[in-house]
Structure 1
Amino acid sequence: MKVKVQTLDAKSGGDIELNDEIFAVEPRADILHRVVTWQLVNRRAPARAARERSEVNRTGKKFGRQKGGGTARHGDRRAPIFIGGGKAHGPRARIFASSLNKKVRALGLKMALSAKAKDGNLVVIDNLDLPEGKTKELQSRLGKLGFGQTALVIDGEALNVGFARASSNLSSINLMPAAGANVYDIMRHETLVLTRAAVEKLEARFNG
């Protein structure tokens, strides 16, 4: 698959040949759904348990005499109604984690990349060099580049410092290195923007 390369000045930067085994796979909604669900489940933090009555470190001595005190009959200070007592029916420790076959995860990423290419929402940029790294400078170029409402920009091994500084104040632009490319972030942005270095890293990731 041959795709035209742009520069940040919206000029032609030549062509690039994309690997059909990565960027021309027929997307399947069930595979994409499985991978996105797996990602979101594994992002959940574990639930912290609360100490119940039997787990509180307080005396077990009877609080007061059974009769004649004019108060309710209590066994010890660990009761939930006392300050420092155990939590009644508190949350239990839970770990939210799921596993997914590596081949399915890799296939899902290929399908996400292919879906953007198929819909015409894949843009390849020569590089992300911004001499001054100013937000105003970048914002003036975005309209010409056709990034849409939201764009995920994926760079090579390391992020371009100037572009990262310029895009940090733009809510419509998210930037990440090629190593962090994932199905969920690709699918939730309107446009996927790859640099030449990102294409090389992604193809090496699947071929290595």
Structure 2
Amino acid sequence: MKVKVQKIDGKASGDIELNDAIFGVEPRADILHRIVTWQLENRRGTARPTRERSDVARTGKKFGRQKGGGTARHGDRAAPIFIGGGKAHGARKRDFNQSLNKKLRALGLKMALSSKAKDGLVVVDSLELKDAKTKVLKGHLDKAGLTGKVLVIDGESVDAGFKKAAGNLPGVNVLPAMGANVYDILNHDTLVLTKDAVAKLEARFNG
């Protein structure tokens, strides 16, 4: 698959050949849904449990008399009314972590990249800016027609100047190639890949 390469300001900068095994896969909604759900579930914090009366280490032997003691009847030191007793109706452990096959995760990422390759993929030669300022970068993005929610993925690491300039632009997010994931790709209108990012992603799947 041949795609046009442009500079960050929208000027043409040649062509690049994308691997059809990565950028030409037919997306499946069920697989993408499974992976997005898996990602979001794993982002949830595990709820810590409290110890209820069956969890605390207390004697179950009845203490005191049933009658004649002048006090209320008690039969268990683990009751919630005692110091050291269990919590009444306490929070229980809720673990949202799910497992997902590595092959399925890789396939999902290919499908997400392929869906953007059909509509919403832009390849740029690099993210290097002569003047790394937010105002300048916004002008470049507007000139290139990159509006709405834009995800920019660079190679080994994101260009420091670009990252700083993009920090105050709403809707513009940056990631290194290793951080590319299904949820973030699908959650943006446009995916911008540098040539280094393309090389890293192809090496990631072929390696």
Q: Normalising by structure 1, report the TM-score.
A: 0.87
CA distances 1:6-57 after superposition (whole Å, capped 9, x unpaired): 1122211111111111111111111211221222222222221102234446
Q: CA shift at 1:101, angstroms?
A: 2.0
Other structure's SS at 1:129 match: coil
- Whole-Å Cα distance in 2 between the matches of residues 85 and 131 of structure 1? 66
CA distances 1:166-201 after superposition (whole Å, capped 9, x unpaired): 111122111110011111110111110100100000
Match of 1:155 in 2: 154
Alignment length (residue pairs) = 207
Match of 2:38 in 1: 38
- Whole-Å Cα distance in 2 between the matches of residues 26 and 182 of structure 1? 17
Other structure's SS at 2:97 match: coil
Say whether the 8 Å CA contact 2:154–2:193 is kept in structure 1: yes
Q: Normalising by structure 2, report the TM-score.
A: 0.87
Match of 2:182 in 1: 183
Match of 1:107 in 2: 107
- Whole-Å Cα distance in 2 between the matches of residues 105 and 64 of structure 1? 61
Deviates more, 1:89-98 or 1:135-144: 89-98
Other structure's SS at 2:27 match: coil
Map 1:163-202 → 2, pairs under 5 A? 163-202=162-201
CA distances 1:53-75 after superposition (whole Å, capped 9, x unpaired): 34446798988876678764445
Match of 1:8 in 2: 8
Q: CA shift at 1:94, angstroms?
A: 3.3
Say whether the 8 Å CA contact 2:123–2:192 is kept in structure 1: yes
Q: 1:74 to 1:186 in 2, by over 3 A?
A: same
Say whether the 8 Å CA contact 2:9–2:141 is kept in structure 1: no
